[in-house]
Amino acid sequence: MTLEVGKVGTSVEVRRERGHHRYHDGPVQTTFNTKQVLELPQTATGSGIYNLALLGAGVSTSGGVGQGFGPAVAGQRPDNNSFFLDGVSNNNYYNPAPLITVSNEAISEFTLLQNQFSPEFGGGSGASSTR
């Protein structure tokens, strides 16, 4: 039996097709409905519904350290959060917190917007919460 020496070769061809690439479709957001607002234990004490934000990705408690109200979102301090009530700014600009508090029973939906939110919810580099 005789083996003959042959050629070893590999050819790789890479082509790039032109097209539109979308890296992110929209904001990272978490929405809680009425049932969750009323029945989840986080809303019973402390900051009420704003404690629900702690269930979102990239959200942590500030531990009561520093100025502001609510959780630390995406590494931002709580004083960078914005608050909206029915699409209208609910920010207290003297003390970074909501201007008006609403009882949990009056809330039909709570949404936490964490990044890339539209300009109508601007004013803070942390999170925007809408009710």
12 in a structural domain: no
Task: Give residue 123's pLDDT.
Answer: 61
Model confidence, pTM: 0.65
17 is a domain residue: no
**In this predicted structure, what is the pLDDT of residue 121?**
66
Task: Count the domains in the chain.
Answer: 1
- Residue 114 CA to residue 11 CA, distance in Å, equals 46
> Given pLDDT bands bounded at 50, 70 and 90, which one contains residue 99?
confident
Per the structure, the complete domain to which residue 107 belongs is given by: 29-130
Q: Is 28 exposed, middle or buried (0-12, 13-18, 19+ CB in 10 A)?
A: middle
Tokens of 4: 């003959």
Residues 6 or more apart in contact with residue 77 via CB below 8 angstroms: 62, 66, 67, 68, 126
Give start and end residues of each alpha helix (H) in the chain. 34-39
Assess if residue 8 is contained within a domain. no
What is the rounded CA–CA span in Å between residue 109 and residue 111?
Answer: 7
The CATH number given to whatever domain includes residue 80 is 2.170.130
Residue 58 has pLDDT above 60, yes or no: yes
User: For residue 52, is it within any domain?
Assistant: yes
Query: For 110-130, what is each residue's pLDDT tens digit?
Result: 888 877 666 666 666 556 666
For residues 62 and 76, the answer to whether their CB atoms sit within 8 Å is no
Within a domain: residue 14?
Answer: no
